């Protein structure tokens, strides 16, 4: 796998965060003044299972370099079982992306609760660094969707 | 077989069991055999065709047909019965309005494949054991059966009818097929090679949407890919990997419901091996969530509308296979 040595490259990261846990976790890491990269663009969703595979591909098409989905820990879903469905869907989708030869480290699922501000910041730092190493996403971008 | 089917259809029309028959008729060329509805004995005599080129799965047509007045007779090959069952499960077909006669199938011929061997002007084809004799405008050509048979039939998964009202001939068995071999081969390539493989295949796509339109599992009235706001409803005027979203989502939307009937690959005018995408999902589902064959029954829960608290984490993708 090719590694990007360009230290100046700043990846665009899209993070889908569940309203009931990781979105609050992001808030908490903010109020605790923990640092996480400004590259991370958070999109709030009502539940991790609201994330349609199309959202993820769409983000990549429009220029995201990495997409991360954050939801409540298994067993803790606000709607009882949403994250269990999300877990199956994301596993299959990521496996398909891998099958098509898309770099594995561009996608991730992480379970972050509302109390885990620290974990949120740490996850975002690690993920951004991993994507930065991969360099810009070319394999999934779509020229039709590129913003001028 | 064709004669037996016509007389069966005539008898069922005559005794009032059914009012219509869905079968196939010939198009412009001998190998253009497309689904058609017949309403009388005379129409059957004039147009009903069932031969080695009759591959089309009529299950999907029954969504609309079973909602019309009167009962309709359909002939289903073993693989078609899985699609039919799956549609029953999804409440798309009204079972009471359909009379199913199961017919055996020992594989169908692929005119495109025959043509790709340089044989043109096909007038007829005759199977004879392991060979096929093709009569053309320019004389007679003989080729091995495997070179003339549809890909989906070469890796047939079952000769068993999972649903029927009556059968013509004997019922078969589920077959232990090698249908995942190519998926495995791809999995063992490097990411770079996989990407190149898929880019070269998918960039041939002309976005005719035939694969979506023919798929019995793709039966939404409105499809996400028809949305002009999406920016991806047409072919991209660039030679790249840009149709990937269509293909990933098409396969994803039928994941857990795809019966592996093989229609998508059969109709693709660009010969893109779409079944390799569907089979990847089927293989993953089998290995991660337990063996599952869509359409086998009408009661089990599909793997994507189900879960287990002990399911694996998506990380598993990062941990296995070749990078
Ligand atoms: S049938 Fe083939 S060419 Fe047409 S949209 Fe599907 S993959 Fe593309
Ligand atoms: S995706 Fe292809 S193989 Fe699967 S049900 Fe649809 S047409 Fe058949």
The tally of domains found in chain A comes to 1
In a domain, A1, yes or no: no
B190 and B73, same domain (yes or no): no
- The residue with tokens 């798309």 is B92
* pLDDT band with cut points at 50, 70 and 90 for residue B93: very high
Domain of residue B20, CATH code? 3.40.50
CA A97 – ligand 1 centroid, Å: 19
pLDDT score of A2: 55
In a domain, A75, yes or no: yes
Distance from CA of A72 to the nearest CA of B (A): 13
B99 and B220, same domain (yes or no): no
Euclidean distance between CA atoms B277 and B258, whole angstroms: 11
User: How are strands ordered across the β-sheet holding A40-45?
Assistant: A40-45, A13-18, A66-71, A107-111
* pLDDT band with cut points at 50, 70 and 90 for residue A6: low
* pLDDT band with cut points at 50, 70 and 90 for residue A60: very high
In a domain, A5, yes or no: no
pLDDT score of B318: 83
* pLDDT band with cut points at 50, 70 and 90 for residue A140: confident
Q: Is B271 in the pocket of ligand 1 (CB under 6 A)?
A: no
Question: Is the model's pLDDT at B237 over the cut of 90?
Answer: no
The tally of domains found in chain B comes to 3
B139 and B56, same domain (yes or no): no
What number does the ligand 1 atom closest to the CA of B207 have? Answer: 5
Question: Is the model's pLDDT at A4 over the cut of 80?
Answer: no
- For a mutational test of ligand 2's pocket, the pick from B216, B247, B250, B252, i.e. the residue with the most ligand atoms closer than 8 A to its C-beta, is B216
DSSP string, A9-26: ----EEEEEETTTHHHHH
Average pLDDT along chain B: 92
Contact B66, B18 (CB under 8 A): no
- What are the pLDDT digits (tens) for B117-147? 999 999 999 998 899 999 999 999 999 999 9
In a domain, A85, yes or no: yes
What's the pTM value of the predicted model, to 2 decimals? 0.92
Domain around A35: 13-141
ipTM: 0.91
B220 and B96, same domain (yes or no): no
Rounded to an integer, the average pLDDT of A139-143 is: 82
Domain around B8: 1-108+158-178
Is A140 in Cβ contact with B241 (below 8 Å)? yes
Q: Which residues of B touch A84 (CB under 8 A)?
A: 307-309, 311
Question: Is the model's pLDDT at B245 over the cut of 80?
Answer: yes
B293 and B305, same domain (yes or no): yes
How, if at all, do strands B98-102 and B72-76 pair? parallel
Q: Could you tell me if B280 lies within 8 Å of chain A, comparing CB atoms?
A: yes
B143 and B268, same domain (yes or no): no
In a domain, A135, yes or no: yes
Euclidean distance between CA atoms B129 and A18, whole angstroms: 60
In a domain, A132, yes or no: yes
Radius of gyration of chain A (CA): 15
In a domain, A147, yes or no: no
Residue A109: closest CA among A10, A1, A15: A15
pLDDT score of B288: 95
Average pLDDT along chain A: 91
Q: What b/e readout covers B189-219, taking b as 16+ CB neighbours within 10 angstroms?
A: bebeebbebbbebbbebebebbbbebbbbbb
pLDDT score of B176: 83
Best mutation target among A79, A90, A101, A133 (most B Cβ atoms within 10 Å) is: A101
B166 and B184, same domain (yes or no): no
Q: Which residues of A touch B289 (CB under 8 A)?
A: 88
Domain of residue A55, CATH code? 3.40.50
Beta strand segments in B98-246, E: 98-102, 122-128, 131-136, 139-144, 166-167
B93 and B113, same domain (yes or no): no
In a domain, A3, yes or no: no
Contact B185, B319 (CB under 8 A): no
Q: Establish how many alpha carbons lie within 13 A of residue B147's alpha carbon, considering only the half-sphere containing its beta carbon.
A: 14
């Amino acid at each position: 796998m090719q590694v990007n040595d360009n230290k100046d490259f700043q990846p665009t990261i899209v993070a889908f965060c569940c309203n009931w846990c990781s979105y609050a976790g992001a808030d908490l890491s903010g109020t605790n003044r923990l640092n996480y990269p400004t590259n991370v663009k958070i999109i709030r969703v009502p539940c991790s299972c609201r994330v349609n595979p199309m959202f993820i591909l769409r983000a990549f098409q429009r220029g995201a370099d990495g997409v991360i989905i954050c939801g409540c820990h298994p067993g803790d879903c606000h709607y009882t079982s949403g994250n269990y469905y999300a877990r199956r869907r994301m596993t299959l989708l990521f496996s398909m992306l891998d099958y098509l030869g898309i770099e594995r480290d561009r996608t991730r699922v992480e379970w972050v609760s509302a109390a885990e501000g620290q974990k949120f910041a740490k996850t975002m730092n690690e993920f951004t660094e991993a994507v930065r190493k991969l360099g810009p996403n070319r394999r999934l971008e779509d020229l039709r969707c590129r913003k001028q | 077989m064709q004669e037996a089917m016509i007389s069966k259809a005539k008898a069922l029309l005559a005794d009032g069991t059914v009012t219509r028959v869905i079968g196939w008729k010939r198009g412009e060329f001998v190998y253009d055999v497309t689904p058609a509805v017949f309403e009388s004995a005379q129409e059957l005599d004039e147009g009903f065709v069932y031969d080695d080129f009759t591959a089309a799965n009529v299950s999907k047509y029954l969504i609309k047909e079973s909602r019309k007045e009167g009962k309709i007779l359909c002939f289903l090959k073993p693989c078609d019965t899985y699609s039919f069952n799956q549609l029953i499960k999804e409440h798309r077909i009204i079972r009471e309005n359909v009379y199913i006669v199961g017919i055996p199938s020992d594989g169908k011929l692929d005119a495109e494949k025959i043509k790709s061997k340089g044989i043109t002007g096909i007038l007829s084809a005759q199977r004879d054991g392991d060979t096929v004799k093709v009569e053309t405008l320019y004389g007679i050509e003989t080729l091995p059966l495997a070179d003339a048979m549809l890909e989906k039939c070469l890796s047939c998964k079952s000769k068993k009818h999972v649903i029927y009202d009556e059968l013509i001939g004997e019922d078969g068995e589920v077959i232990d097929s090698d249908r995942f071999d190519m998926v495995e081969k791809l999995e063992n390539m490097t990411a770079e090679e996989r990407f190149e493989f898929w880019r070269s295949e998918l960039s041939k796509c002309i976005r005719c949407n035939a694969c979506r339109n023919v798929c019995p599992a793709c039966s939404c009235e409105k499809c996400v890919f028809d949305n002009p706001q999406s920016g991806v409803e047409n072919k991209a005027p660039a030679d790249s990997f840009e149709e990937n979203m269509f293909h990933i989502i098409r396969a994803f939307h039928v994941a857990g419901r795809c019966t592996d009937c093989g229609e998508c690959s059969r109709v693709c005018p660009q010969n893109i091996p779409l079944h390799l995408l569907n089979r990847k999902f089927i293989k993953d589902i089998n290995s991660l969530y337990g063996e599952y064959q869509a359409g086998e029954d009408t009661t089990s829960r599909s793997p994507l509308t189900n879960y287990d608290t002990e399911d694996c984490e998506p990380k598993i993708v990062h941990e296995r296979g070749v990078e």
